[in-house]
Amino acid sequence: MNSKNLTAIGYGLLFLGLLAAPLLGAYPVFVMKLMCFALFASAFNLLLGYTGMLSFGHAAFLGGAAYVAGHSIKIWGFTPEVGLVLGTLAGAFLGLVVGFFAIRRQGIYSTMITLALAQMLFFVCLQAPFTGGEDGLQGVPRGKLFGVVDLQSDLVMYYVTLVIVVAAFLLIMRTIHSPYGQVLKAIKENESRATSLGYDTNRFKLLAFVLSAGLAGLAGSLKTLVLGFATLSDVHWTASGHVVLMTLVGGLGTLSGPLVGAAVVVLLENKIGEFGNLLAALTTVEWFKTLGESVTMVTGLIFVICVLAFRRGIMGEIIAWVTRRRGGGAGH
């Protein structure tokens, strides 16, 4: 069995697992949140893992789109699908603006431009009246999809979210394996050589920036629809740090890595308190009960361990191991 068949089987099992998750007792809202962050990490990986551009301002696309989608649904009374489209377009537009400036510099200078512009958007969201300031945009209704499908049911919302995330992931996969995706990989490996071959690298990088930002915007819009609110944490620089962490822990430049990284980080943030209570009960060490209050310390420790022990990330190391065992082949 070749690597492509193994990859297809792996994704098929993951899809079947997600289909059955609510029926097996998983909390639908939590899994939907996880899927939104997995899409966010996959969108970021498209830019960093396959184009070689580090954006430390991706929270601007996630949070900016979240506010646009929430405001259009709650205040303007648009249907959910229109809100999602508007949020995605808002993310893509922000990506066009940020990318226009970022691609004109290299390395750390490009990264700092993305961070600076993202922080500007954060302060706009903090001061603007329509965002709700520090309280955030609350009470966003789910409504009815196309005026027919009632999204108030968590189960219905779950399967709609699953379809959207899978479609977006397939788009990312198709982009990476297209001729355009091969050019992006060439730019990452050696931009000067790609330029010498006649490619307008700035144009390709800007398009990658817009596509990544648009997909991040879709993740933010979907998250707002699922949870019913958008807050300043969505546009804060720490959200950008989280997506970097997810991608590096899972495996930079792999399709499955961001999915695994997002699962690890989100599970740690939401379940570390329960894990600490369990450790406290087993060891009678009361300090473990405070783990839930120190989630950033724990995630930081996990990140350090992964960087030292798994430099390719979790999936990167697994793919490399399988490739060595099989004597070649590409991993996903």
Specify the pLDDT at position 286.
53
pTM: 0.89
Specify the pLDDT at position 221.
95
Q: For 9-18, 186-195, 276-285, which range has the lowest pLDDT when averaged over its residues?
A: 276-285
DSSP state of 231: -
Distance CA 5, CA 41 (A): 24
Task: State yes or no: pLDDT of 281 exceeds 80.
Answer: no
Task: State yes or no: pLDDT of 292 exceeds 60.
Answer: no
For the stretch 20-49, pLDDT in tens is 888 888 889 999 999 999 999 999 999 998
Which secondary structure element, helix H or strand E, spans residue 144, and what is its range? strand 144-145
Band of residue 251 on the pLDDT scale cut at 50, 70, 90: confident
Distance CA 73, CA 78 (A): 5
Domain boundaries of the chain, sorted by first residue: 26-326
For residue 57, how many other CB atoms are within 10 A of its CB? 27
Band of residue 330 on the pLDDT scale cut at 50, 70, 90: very low
For the stretch 76-94, pLDDT in tens is 989 999 999 999 999 999 9
CATH code for the domain defined by 26-326: 1.10.3470
Output the CA–CA distances (angstroms, integers) from residue 278 to 264, 267, 268, 287, in the order listed.
18, 15, 14, 12
Burial of 247 (0-12, 13-18, 19+ CB in 10 A): buried
Torsion of CA 77, 82, 85, 89, to 10 degrees: -50
Task: State yes or no: pLDDT of 2 exceeds 80.
Answer: no
Amino acid symbol at 173: M
Distance CA 262, CA 329 (A): 26
Taking residues 255-279, what's their average pLDDT?
74
Which residues are within 8 A (CB) of 220 and not within 5 positions of it... i.e. 6 or more apart? 36, 40, 61, 62, 63, 64, 65, 66, 69, 87, 91, 230, 234
Specify the pLDDT at position 282.
52
Name the percent of the chain lying above pLDDT 70.
Answer: 89
Q: What is the mean pLDDT of the chain?
A: 85
- From the list 2, 81, 46, 316, the residue with the least C-alpha distance to 169 is 46
Taking residues 301-319, what's their average pLDDT?
77
For the stretch 160-192, pLDDT in tens is 999 999 999 999 999 999 999 999 999 999 888
